Chains A and B, each alone.
Chain A
Amino acid sequence: MSEIQRAGLSPETVLAEMKKNGVTHVVWLPDSETNWLYLLMKAEPSLTLVGVNREGLAFSAAAGISAGGKTPLILIQNTGLMESGDSLRGWALGLSIPVVLMVGYRGWTRHGVNTDTAATYTERFLNAFGVNYFLVEGDDDAPRISIAFDEAKKTKRPVAVLVADEYHGFNR
């Protein structure tokens, strides 16, 4: 395991990036390993958590939040991202919504040999929709989250942050 992987991405770092970029609403469906982040977000008074029960609904909800002048963040897993294709197309891309998607990259491996088709199709899916993405493996990569926010604002499009190793180390 590399140093980057050992360091992991801490939920405190993710929360700091959210606050730094003015996130007001987190539209989310729990990932496999986001419980600690959930507890941090719940305790953060500047955030409203909007839990959905199907990821496609996250894109339309985020579009409404953005249309109302606030800053949503979508927090989902890659499996749910793929479920959301039409909503991503119609609500986020169709309405030119500047939104960052933080996507748990289930099944990702550094060496490219994976046994989980969720990983196999993640980047292909994003490429099919023309959605740019940044890979984040650990705290050292966290500035890429801000880059994603900047790009979303500049292009008025959704931009993805792929959280590699599926929030490794988030559960404590």
Chain B
Amino acid sequence: MMDTAEMLKIFNRYRGNAIVVPGRGGRHWVRISDQPNRDLPLGDPAMGGHASFAMGLALAQPGQRIVLFDSDGDVQMGMGILATIAEQQPRNFYHFMLDNECYATTGGQPVPQATTIAYDAIARACGYPRAYAYDNLETFAINVERILSGPGPVFTALKVRPEVENEPIGSRTKWRTRTQVQAVLDLKKELGIAG
């Protein structure tokens, strides 16, 4: 398993000017990214929707590369979107998934089939032309440039160490520096989109 923050630092070397939806990796990404106006650190608007949101963004902005850091719990909750993404074939969509084998924000309970499910095989079976799975930082570091240099949609599952939270939600450290609405407005401004 790899450390999420270290993985994101390696990814950042190859980011280019991609728009990044960091999902549950957002708490680390906001400290790593040097292009905040091209980031959408939304936290967790509603579980299971990150992939469909990022797909929608990719469809609306075909000239931009869209990178998503999804999670295993989110993918299991909204797994049907993998078929929709494969049908739409957004060539600018790079779908990474943080697989910590649990629901970390609720105390670390395992997701169904936590250790045996093959997300890359599911994505491939849905119709993603490329799908990978890595369980260590070294292999990810060797392959990330190749993943990002080819066309999407591409799915990459990454085994990451759980960062389990047990504190009451109200007591947890707030890592977002902007509201969700402000983050969207900042991106629109960056892209020259009215409103």
**Among the listed A48, A51, A67, which residue makes an inter-chain contact with B57, where contact means beta carbons less than 8 Å apart?**
A67
Is there an interface contact between A95 and B180, defined as CB atoms closer than 8 Å?
Answer: yes
A88 to chain B, nearest CB (A): 8
B22 within 8 A of A: no
Pick the most buried of B49, B54, B187: most chain A CB atoms within 10 A of its CB. B49
A115 within 8 A of B: no
**Residues of B37-89 contacting chain A, CB below 8 A:** 40, 42, 44-50, 52-61, 78, 80-81, 83-84, 87-88
Pick the most buried of B47, B50, B57, B80: most chain A CB atoms within 10 A of its CB. B57
B179 to chain A, nearest CB (A): 9
Q: Which residue in chain B gives the minimum CB-CB distance to A51?
A: B84
Is there an interface contact between B49 and A65, defined as CB atoms closer than 8 Å?
Answer: no
Interface size class of B (residues with CB under 8 A): 35 or more
* Cα–Cα, bound, A53→B78 (Å): 9
Indicate with 1 or 0, residue by residue over A34-65, a CB within 8 angstroms of chain B CB atoms.
00000000000000101111101111111111
A44 to chain B, nearest CB (A): 16
Is there an interface contact between B56 and A63, defined as CB atoms closer than 8 Å?
Answer: yes
Is there an interface contact between A50 and B88, defined as CB atoms closer than 8 Å?
Answer: yes
- From known contacts A94-B45, A95-B180, infer whether A67 and B55 are also in contact, taking CB-CB under 8 Å: no
A53 to chain B, nearest CB (A): 4
Contacts of B54 in A (CB 8 A): 64
Q: Which residue in chain B gives the minimum CB-CB distance to A62?
A: B56
* Cα–Cα, bound, A54→B28 (Å): 31
B191 within 8 A of A: yes
**Among the listed A58, A59, A68, A86, which residue makes an inter-chain contact with B47, where contact means beta carbons less than 8 Å apart?**
A86
**Residues of B7-60 contacting chain A, CB below 8 A:** 40, 42, 44-50, 52-60
Q: Which residues of B contact A (CB under 8 A)?
A: 40, 42, 44-50, 52-61, 78, 80-81, 83-84, 87-88, 180-181, 184, 187-188, 191, 193-195
Q: Which residues of A contact B (CB under 8 A)?
A: 24-25, 27, 48, 50-54, 56-70, 72, 86-87, 89-91, 94-96
14 A-B pairs with C-beta separation under 8 A = A24-B60, A53-B80, A56-B49, A56-B78, A57-B81, A57-B84, A60-B56, A61-B52, A63-B53, A64-B60, A65-B56, A67-B57, A68-B58, A69-B193
